[in-house]
Amino acid sequence: MLKLYPAYMRLFIWRGRSLYFGPSVQLNAHSYATVALHVGVYRPFRIKIANGAWQRCRCAIVPAGIRHELDFEGGIHGKLFIERDSSDFLYFKRRFAWPGQASVFFHDDELVDQLRWIYELDPDKTVIESCLDKLLQCDGELNLEIDPRVQTAIDLICEEPDCNFSQQYLADRADLSPSRFLHLFKEHTDVPYRRFRTWKRLFLALDSLNAVDNMTVAAIDAGFADATHFSHSFRDNFGINPAYVFRGINRFEI
């Protein structure tokens, strides 16, 4: 007999990856600044890419910058983000033979079984990390190489999130024209500089929110003008109001 599990909402964040589980309402049109893997933990879900038709699948890979809608129809949503500036990105591409800038719909028994196991047993975070390492076949052989000039800009975003570094300032540091710098940045991150910066700030805000439990403080510390600015950016990136997530979350570990 199938055992029924309560609808838990959980979020785990590491340096190069983030894993979310939870009962999902329909998510409005949104786009991420990195690749996302969506999984229906117990049953298929519906997905709509841009202005296309709704399609039903069990697993989907959505590249950075692709606007889409999701409807899990009350089912459990498993979502894995792989950060573009992490070696996990290379393992992800190797594991799923992902073609790049096209969304992919598929079924993968190993993936579904692994995420269901994590969701149902709710193990220690180190165990979850080990499971994801195994799933992504991380063997320590792949190292991501990012142009040092782009890496410097990424480091500045993360180290000083409240500073609005201008494109001209970053281009001057890289000894490039602004247009060449922006082209190089997108080449290495798949999204424009401002989009990438907002994405990193969102996760920095989540980190702060986990510590201080105050959305306004967390938003300002991460470089947003105020809680309203943070909420708007959160909806644009995730398709849902942050209050819904943080009111119902059962386990949140960074």
**Residue 244 above 50 pLDDT?**
yes
DSSP per residue over 89-112, as a string? HHHHHHHHT--SSS-EEE--HHHH
The DSSP code sequence of 112-164 is HHHHHHHHHH---HHHHHHHHHHHHT--S-------HHHHHHHHHHHH-TT--
Using CB atoms within 10 A of its CB, is residue 84 exposed (0-12), middle (13-18) or buried (19+)?
A: buried
Would you give the DSSP letter of residue 214? -
**CATH class of the structural domain 10-136:** mainly beta
pLDDT 10s digits, 115-138: 999 999 999 999 999 999 999 999
Whether 112 shows a pLDDT value over 60: the answer reads yes
Would the pLDDT of 2 be above 70? no
- Ranges for all domains in the chain classified under CATH 2.60.120.10: 10-136
**148-247 topology per CATH:** Arc Repressor Mutant, subunit A (1.10.10)
Three-class secondary structure of residue 72 per DSSP: coil
Residues of the chain with CATH 1.10.10.60: 148-247
The one-letter code for the residue type at 156 is L
Q: What is the pLDDT of residue 67?
A: 96
Q: Provide the whole-model pTM.
A: 0.93
pLDDT of residue 3: 56
Report the SS3 class of residue 177. Answer: coil
CA dihedral of residues 103, 20, 232, 150 (deg, nearest 10): -70
Model confidence pLDDT, tens digit, residues 166-212? 889 999 999 999 999 999 999 999 999 999 999 999 998 888 887 77
Instruction: Reply yes or no on whether the pLDDT at 65 is more than 90.
Output: yes
pLDDT confidence of residue 1: 39
